[in-house]
Amino acid sequence: MFTAAPQHLFTVRDLLRFAVSRFSEAKLFFGHGNGSAWDEAAYLVLHSLHLPLQQLEPFLDARLLPEEIARTLALIEARVTTRKPAAYLTQEAWLGPYRFYVDERVIVPRSFIAELLPTALEPWIEYPELVHRALDLCTGSGCLAILLAEHYPDAEVDAVDLSEDALAVAAINVRDYGLEQRVRLLPSDLFGAVEGESYDLIISNPPYVDAPSVAALPQEYLHEPELALGSGEDGLDITRIIIETASQYLNPHGVLVVEIGHNRAVLEPQYPELEFTWLDTSSGDGFVFLLTREQLLEAGF
- Write the pLDDT tens digit of every residue in 84-142: 999 999 999 999 999 999 999 999 999 999 999 989 999 999 999 999 999 999 999 99
Three-state DSSP state, 30: coil
Residue 174 pLDDT greater than 90, yes or no: yes
Element (H, E) at 149: helix 143-151
Residue pLDDT, tens place only, 176-212: 999 999 999 999 999 999 999 999 999 999 998 888 8
The pTM of this model reads 0.93
Helices H / strands E in the chain, number of each: 11, 9
Three-state DSSP state, 184: strand
Q: Which of 52, 35, 53 is nearest to 43 (CA)?
A: 53
Strands 277-278 and 183-187: unpaired
Q: What angle do CA 249, 253, 255 make, to 5 degrees?
A: 60
